Structure 1
Amino acid sequence: MTVTDELAWLGALQRVLDRSHLWRPDQLAEIVVETLARLDIDATVYLVDHEQRTLRALPVAKQDTPEPEPIDGSVPGRAFALVRSIPAADSPDAARWWVPMVNGTDRMGVLDFRLPAGADPHAPGLQQRCELFAGLVGHLVTTCVPRGDHLHLVRRTQPMSSASELLWQMLQPFTVACDELTVSAILEPSYDVGGDGYDYSFDGPTARLAIFDGVGKGLKAGLGTAVALAAIRAARRAGQDLAGQARAADAALLAEFPDARFVTAFLAELHLQTGELRYLNAGHLPPLLLRSGAAPDELTGGARMPLGLDDPRGELGRRRLQRGDRLLLYTDGITEARDGDGVQFGRDRLVEIVEHHVAAGLPSPETLRRISHAVIEHQHGLPDDDATLVLAEWSPPAVRRTVP
């Protein structure tokens, strides 16, 4: 049996899929490794940590667990960052493929395929077979996460607060894409987030986006955001428009919190064929429309009071996007982050970094990862306030960059 045997690879896919129905989270890596060993391939499954700084190996019984691989400055980190398979020769008679592992377009980690002695890493079809196998494992990681704590623990470098535990269970994956649009998000501090959140939904010709910032800090702020997010999802799924969704959040917050707890939010709908954007701003920072060759444009329409303050206004803002436009949503934890001299990170710096990375052709999720780390470096540590970004790109080329 060789690594170029197509039937052997088909059997490997079938074996992993068959075993996945009943495996425990701690068995995932072991079964993947055992299956690839039948092809004479040594393998390691790596998951990205919550801070998106390192790739952490899933342990396998009776094997030493490799040390974490840094995303910045390593070959596996480059494969993860660029969503691109990268061959890496270890010696004249051995080679390996580092293959990005995604669920749809959400980056989960990488799979390390160490090929047998004498194997040609560029043999026809080998890269595609490695990518197909890694794609299956990426999907199965996602389905396996809710079964236990094992995969959660591998991704964590420290304990998580109750507020973070609550919100992470409600939030969508960091990245989603369809043929016309890619949406990426990131949120810090990973282990102690309070009231920030985001949401999205792709249905038919319409994509819906939202960002939230709950008043206060800690669990109370997280509870307020969780209530607002749940109310908006319920209203949206019941057919309510943006104004109806906001009123549903008002009612839910007023019913649950007698202390007049409120949540700022920006809610938007984008028609994927025409580019028509409709939006409502409930006391949130105005998002930025970024268009090539033009100055950043704030979306200032559709204003109402924050969610939870029972504002009957429902007039929407409107804008017609052009292909290639980018919509950047953010919370004040990004722009108001201060360095040791009190200088804020600021909107202009944020736009400059986004434009730089987009011009460099980076995938949207990698652009946001680098921005969040730039904010942390600016203030020499984790943010004092939640810091959230959502970047939507109405651009087929941007979509293609998120796919392996």
Structure 2
Amino acid sequence: MTGTGEMRWFEALQDVLDDSHLWQPGDLAARVGAAVSRLGLRTTIWLVDYEQVALRALPETGRATPEPLPVDGSLAGRAFTRVTALRGDGHRWWVPMVDGTDRIGVVEVVADGDRDDEFVRRCELLAGLIGHLIVTTTVRGDHLDVVRRSQPMSTAAELLWNMLPPLTASCGRAVISAVLQPCYDVGGDGFDYALDGDTAYVAILDAVGKGVTAGVACAVALAAIRAARRAGGGLAEQARAADDALTEHFPEVRFVTAVLAELRLDTGRIRYLNAGHPAPLLLRSGRLVRELDAGRRLPLGLADPRAQVGEEALEPDDRLLLYTDGVTEARTPEGEFFGVDRLVGLVERSAATRLPAPETLRRLSHAVLEHQGGPPDDDATLLLVQWSAAAAFDTLPTTKAADV
């Protein structure tokens, strides 16, 4: 690309960034479109919905809003699931949009003529900027969040979604990804993580009960764990903090099952506590090695001074799958449970096809829903930790578009 062309791209991106300080959420699509129109481009920004079933276009004044596109079975969906820029018909490109490594949607770019690989890389830069701006702009109003919804959200789900970190985060040595169902009515399930220095901290929680009460219990336990962790407390201190918080705020007995773990990113050593929760599954070379069944203690909210921390040594590329019982206990109308064996089989098949961690979980969660024939009777949450530099790389947008 010529120096003049580079300057025009720089000026367009600068205009988007400068303009973003004062725009409202509903301005985003039109303002981006105006900035890149000077480059001979037309853009449509597509956000993935909460259930990760469809991509929904951001409305623009004066333009008809396209119908949602399915994630499964569309070129846009393939760009999203594989985090890969794809060329469509004519002069159209579908470019994955992420914030860090958390998949947000895709940007559809239509050019006024043929473009080269350098053009695709610049489109990826544009999509990356838009992804970051969507995250920072969403909190200013409701517009962007409403676009992502196919139905109203319950009070409990509203509470918990605003407590949770992004669904996916990666660093140079690991990927952490999670998914929740039913996403519009989740009540007592939650998860947390932190990637700091040489340690990855993860937690998965399941408050007993349903609705707002369960959601509040999960939120209280999650906040207590974070506060203890950020104050330098280890796994035992985090669990005790959750015990104390639940006892203090709930006069009746209220408990939360959970797994709290910390993974050394330099050595692969993992330490964990299991507070009455299903045992995490360790997968190696695409196969189940064992359940991590040590580190047992009573559920959070029931003090257990006898608890001992469990330990395990991971090998490079190992996967650790944590889940709530709503996954394995989901059942068909005839009463057939989804079960651990079915869960493991699906994860093993995904490893064989080298699906990125977030796409593995998206497909697993949909398999649970399909097995039950609708929303689960209980919250179903999955969290996958992969100690692997290659897996982290797989969550990044590729640098070259593929023709289709």
Residue 391 of structure 2 corresponds to residue 392 of structure 1: no
CA distance in 1, matches of 2:3, 2:70: 28
CA distance in 2, matches of 1:373, 1:145: 26
Structure 1 equivalent of residue 256 of structure 2: 263
TM-score normalised according to structure 1 size: 0.96
Higher relative contact order (CA 8 A, sep 6+): 2
CA distance in 2, matches of 1:18, 1:403: 26
CA contact (8 A) 2:172 2:389 kept: yes
Structure 1 equivalent of residue 51 of structure 2: 51
Q: Alpha-carbon deviations, 1:285-317, whole Å to 9, x = none? A: 101001116543110111110000111234100
Residue 114 of structure 2 corresponds to residue 120 of structure 1: yes
CA contact (8 A) 1:2 1:39 kept: no
CA distance in 2, matches of 1:67, 1:4: 37
Change (3 A) 1:314 1:241: farther
Please tell me the root mean square deviation across aligned C-alpha atoms, in Å.
1.4
**Partner SS for 1:296:** strand
Change (3 A) 1:302 1:13: same
CA distance in 2, matches of 1:330, 1:13: 41
Structure 2 equivalent of residue 298 of structure 1: 291
Q: Alpha-carbon deviations, 1:327-374, whole Å to 9, x = none? A: 000001110111122111111111111111121011111110011111
CA distance in 1, matches of 2:33, 2:239: 49
CA distance in 2, matches of 1:77, 1:370: 13
Residue 83 of structure 2 corresponds to residue 83 of structure 1: yes
CA distance in 2, matches of 1:366, 1:385: 22
The Cα shift of 1:4 comes to: 8.9
Name the aligned partner's letter for residue 184 of structure 2. Answer: Y
CA distance in 1, matches of 2:306, 2:339: 30
CA distance in 1, matches of 2:148, 2:288: 39
CA distance in 2, matches of 1:161, 1:244: 32
Name the aligned partner's letter for residue 107 of structure 2. Answer: L
Structure 2 equivalent of residue 97 of structure 1: 93
CA distance in 2, matches of 1:70, 1:113: 18
Structure 1 equivalent of residue 394 of structure 2: 401
Out of 103, 107, 112, the residue aligned to residue 107 of structure 1 is: 103
Structure 2 equivalent of residue 286 of structure 1: 279
CA distance in 2, matches of 1:294, 1:150: 43
CA distance in 2, matches of 1:368, 1:339: 20
The Cα shift of 1:47 comes to: 0.4
Q: Alpha-carbon deviations, 1:232-256, whole Å to 9, x = none? A: 0000011111000000000000000
Structure 2 equivalent of residue 137 of structure 1: 130
Name the aligned partner's letter for residue 370 of structure 2. Answer: E
CA contact (8 A) 1:231 1:249 kept: yes
CA contact (8 A) 1:4 1:125 kept: no
Unmatched runs of 5 consecutive residues or more in structure 2: 398-404
Structure 1 equivalent of residue 194 of structure 2: 201
**Partner SS for 2:150:** coil
Structure 2 equivalent of residue 328 of structure 1: 321
Name the aligned partner's letter for residue 348 of structure 1. Answer: D
The Cα shift of 1:184 comes to: 0.6
